[in-house]
Structure 1
Amino acid sequence: MKIDITGLSDIVLFVDSFYAKVQKDELIGPIFNNVIRDWQPHLEKMYMFWNAALFGVPGFKGNPFAKHAPLPLELRHFERWVLLFDETIDELFEGEMAIDAKKRAGLMASMFLNRFESMKGGADKVVV
């Protein structure tokens, strides 16, 4: 029987498992592997991010969107990211916090995608 996400040790487990999948994924792996040479600092930042997001523990500092904005990401990349994230959570956990983690990841992906779309120019947009 699976347990729910209860603290930092569970966050480390799902973050490590998730990003191991990301690194090997044929669609999004190359994008992230091209910009992240040393994964450990990124993983440690993600432990703090998810600890803050799920449990309100202070300590995360950063602007995640600013780090992703230069990347060549499209809808299909966000869909794969969410698929891998949800798959990882479902493999490891079940419960309210696991559901919340998946919901937050989906919302973050939607927000990032919307911001990516708004950055693109077009006849009805002025990019300054």
Structure 2
Amino acid sequence: MRPPDLCTEQEISVLVRRFYDAVRRDEQLGPVFNTFVNDWNAHLSKLTDFWSSILLGSGRFRGTPMPKHVALPDLSAPLFERWLVLFREATAAQPNRALGEQAYDTAQRIAESLWYGYQMSRRPGTAPTQLRLV
């Protein structure tokens, strides 16, 4: 359960932008994201809504992330693990420790869920592999 005063919208916005700035520059993740994200401002706005809905219960996010991720070609456990490393770095840089911890714990669950769903859609009948969590 999230505390009602966990963070502000501004803190969420800063976290999302800091994280995705690192993703865009990353040697492994940058090419993936930069290939499939055509409008970064719109994408960051949607991701801010997503994290606001999760962390503050704002209900602003509307969408289903799983089908969008399943449609991407050639995702791998190392890419999801790299995503988590960068997310950990972004949350560790947050002055609001409670926000950082809650956001990272949630990001781990999201990454595991997306990776599991991706594997199940790509290799039905094969046992999915686990991510190495940082």
* 1:52 matched to 2:53: yes
Change (3 A) 1:91 1:123: closer
* 1:88 matched to 2:90: yes
Please list, as runs of the form range in 1=range in 2, the aligned pairs for 1:71-86 lying within 5 A after superposition. 71=72, 72-86=74-88
Q: Do the aligned partners of 1:5 and 1:93 also contact (CA within 8 Å) in 2?
A: no
The count of aligned residue pairs is: 122
Kindly state the Cα deviation for residue 94 of structure 1 after the two structures are TM-superposed.
4.1
Kindly state the Cα deviation for residue 67 of structure 1 after the two structures are TM-superposed.
1.4
**SS in structure 1 of the partner of residue 89 of structure 2:** helix
Partner of 2:132: none
Q: Do the aligned partners of 1:89 and 1:98 also contact (CA within 8 Å) in 2?
A: yes
Change (3 A) 1:122 1:48: closer
Q: Segments of 4+ in structure 1 off by > 4 A?
A: 122-125
Kindly state the Cα deviation for residue 92 of structure 1 after the two structures are TM-superposed.
2.0
Kindly state the Cα deviation for residue 43 of structure 1 after the two structures are TM-superposed.
0.2
Structure 1 stretches lacking a partner, 5+ long: none
**SS in structure 2 of the partner of residue 92 of structure 1:** coil
Identity within the alignment, % = 31
Structure with the greater alpha carbon radius of gyration: 1
Q: Do the aligned partners of 1:17 and 1:88 also contact (CA within 8 Å) in 2?
A: yes
Structure 2 stretches lacking a partner, 5+ long: 128-134
> Please, what is the CA RMSD of the aligned residues?
1.9
Q: TM-score, normalised by structure 1?
A: 0.87
Partner of 2:66: 65
